[in-house]
């Protein structure tokens, strides 16, 4: 039997086709090589697998269920819509899947501290949670603008015992937080480890974070049979960096008959700066240490991007997603702000589930797809997170439909 797709990707240099690799300053080559070596050692060790299984079951709340969205399906009038409930993970999103594993790896390598950047604060909260559980120090870098915007997550990180370092230069958002976190990491790479928040960055992170997130797809494949006694016809996930998408796709990638859709945010329009649809409008380039597809400004620098959902407004995409799109194994779905807000309220009012705005993009695209497909077809949506973090922003800017006061 030939090797499965996952076993044969990436190659030993961290490439998925021509995307990926490692473009880092010389002083980081040794620390990153050490991380790769340690991961290769522990990933098949029974002790690591047991520990991860234990925390997933007894701390995180896995397996997360698959819910049939019956009322939403009736509303759309076409294919059946199912939801993989990553919103039910402890701390409210899929991010804990890789954070718990990254911190176990850090502990195994003898590090006492984890460092990361965060945009909306979701990765910061998940990493602070994992660090508290395993007793490690946690340092999170965040742009000053995001600190003001995402106040509850900042408080959460602090309550969990993390140190929050403001990035005060440039636009003071995610890119500057990455710069700031890297600078801090370089000065303490012998005692601390950098924990990237998605399937992005230099090798081995795109592979490692995908492997840690693949639990979503492994569970889904088994659970879907309980509902339909078959594979889903379509699997849909939103794409920021691409970790929740790669996580669920991992379960179906060798099933060629299953269509895989990565949904990009179309924001407010098609002009540069109005969206963050990197695969749709981007071109090949290197950013944040890896080669992928990215949105560039006229100077070739990462372009300013926009989405109503701060977790997916990233000017690039993980290298594996770029590769799978390139070879036609995955397709791009689109969802704009208006469609995402509609999906946010529809899922809340028809199913009793308030989705994260990021996940609402996947739901919004699935609703369009369901309407075009016959009733015997199925769509499995990765509901990457819950919407508690977004409720104030949404109701202030987009009035509740059918509100009863």
Ligand X SMILES: *Cc1c(COP(=O)(O)O)cnc(C)c1O
Residues contributing to the site for ligand X (CB under 6 A): 93, 95, 122, 198, 238-245, 311-312, 356, 358-359, 384-385
* 149 catalytically annotated: no
For the bound state, the minimum distance from the C-beta of residue 238 to ligand X, rounded and expressed in Å, comes to 5
Please identify, using beta-carbon distances, which residue of 189 and 253 lies nearer to ligand X: 253
* 384 catalytically annotated: yes
Please identify, using beta-carbon distances, which residue of 242 and 289 lies nearer to ligand X: 242
Which of 117, 264, 320, 358 is catalytic? The answer is 117
Residue in 181, 171, 179 with CA at minimum distance from that of residue 140: 181
Please identify, using beta-carbon distances, which residue of 118 and 233 lies nearer to ligand X: 118
CA 211 and chain centroid, separation: 13
Whether the bond into 63 is cis, omega within 30 of 0: yes
CA distance 184 to 340: 36
Please identify, using beta-carbon distances, which residue of 115 and 245 lies nearer to ligand X: 245
DSSP per-residue letters across 143-202: EHHHHHHTHHHHHHHHHTT-EEEEE-STT-SHHHHHHHHHHHHHTTTTTEEE--SSS-SS
Q: Which two structure tokens, joined as six digits, stand for 94?
A: 């899929």
Please identify, using beta-carbon distances, which residue of 51 and 361 lies nearer to ligand X: 361
CA distance 110 to 399: 50
Please identify, using beta-carbon distances, which residue of 189 and 354 lies nearer to ligand X: 354
Question: How many of the other CB atoms lie within 10 Å of CB of 296?
Answer: 18
Which of 214, 310, 348, 384 is catalytic? The answer is 384
CA distance 82 to 64: 13
**Spatial contact of 306 and 268, defined as CB atoms under 8 Å apart:** yes
Q: Return the residue nearest ligand X (CB atom).
A: 385
Which of 22, 86, 91, 95 is catalytic? The answer is 95
Cα three-residue angle 44-46-48, rounded to 5 degrees: 80
For the bound state, the minimum distance from the C-beta of residue 402 to ligand X, rounded and expressed in Å, comes to 25
For the bound state, the minimum distance from the C-beta of residue 335 to ligand X, rounded and expressed in Å, comes to 13
For the bound state, the minimum distance from the C-beta of residue 88 to ligand X, rounded and expressed in Å, comes to 12
For the bound state, the minimum distance from the C-beta of residue 236 to ligand X, rounded and expressed in Å, comes to 13
For the bound state, the minimum distance from the C-beta of residue 62 to ligand X, rounded and expressed in Å, comes to 16
Residue 332 burial by Cβ neighbours in a 10 Å radius (0-12, 13-18, 19+): middle
**Spatial contact of 189 and 28, defined as CB atoms under 8 Å apart:** yes
* Residues 6 or more apart in contact with residue 46 via CB below 8 angstroms: none
Catalytic residues: 95, 117, 384
């Amino acid at each position: 039997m030939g090797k499965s797709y996952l076993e044969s990707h990436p190659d030993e240099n961290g490439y998925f086709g021509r995307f990926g690799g490692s473009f880092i300053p010389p002083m980081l080559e040794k620390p990153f090589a050490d991380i790769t070596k340690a991961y290769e050692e522990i990933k098949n060790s029974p002790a690591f697998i047991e520990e991860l299984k234990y925390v997933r079951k007894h701390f995180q709340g896995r397996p997360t269920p698959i819910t049939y969205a019956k009322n939403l399906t009736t509303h759309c009038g076409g294919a059946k819509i199912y939801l993989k409930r990553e919103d039910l993970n402890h701390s409210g999103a899929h991010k804990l899947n890789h954070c718990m594993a990254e911190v176990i790896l850090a502990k195994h390598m003898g590090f006492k501290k984890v460092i990361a950047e965060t945009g909306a604060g979701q990765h910061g909260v998940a990493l602070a949670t994992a660090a508290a559980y395993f007793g490690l120090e946690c340092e999170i870098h965040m742009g000053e603008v995001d600190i003001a915007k995402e106040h509850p997550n900042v408080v959460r990180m602090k309550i969990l015992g993390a140190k929050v370092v403001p990035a005060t230069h440039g636009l003071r958002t995610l890119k500057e937080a990455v710069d700031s976190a890297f600078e801090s990491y370089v000065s303490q790479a012998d005692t601390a480890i950098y924990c990237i928040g998605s399937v992005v960055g230099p090798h081995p992170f795109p592979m490692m974070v995908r492997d840690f997130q693949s639990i979503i797809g492994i569970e889904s494949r088994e659970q879907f049979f309980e509902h339909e006694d078959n594979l889903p016809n379509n699997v849909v996930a939103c794409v920021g960096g691409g970790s929740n998408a790669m996580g669920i796709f991992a379960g179906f990638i060798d099933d060629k008959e299953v269509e895989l859709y990565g949904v990009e945010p179309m924001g407010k329009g098609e002009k540069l700066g109005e969206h963050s649809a990197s695969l749709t409008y981007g071109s090949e380039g290197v950013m944040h240490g890896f080669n992928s597809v990215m949105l560039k400004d006229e100077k070739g620098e990462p372009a300013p991007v926009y989405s109503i959902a701060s977790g997916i407004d990233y000017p690039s995409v993980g290298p594996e997603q770029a590769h799978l799109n390139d070879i036609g194994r995955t397709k791009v779905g689109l969802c704009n702000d208006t469609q995402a807000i509609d999906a946010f309220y529809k899922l809340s009012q028809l199913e009793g589930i308030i989705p994260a705005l990021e996940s609402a993009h996947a739901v919004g695209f699935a609703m369009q797809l369901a309407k075009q497909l016959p009733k015997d077809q199925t769509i499995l949506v990765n509901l990457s997170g819950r919407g508690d973090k977004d409720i104030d922003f949404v109701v202030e800017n987009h009035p509740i439909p059918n509100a009863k006061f």
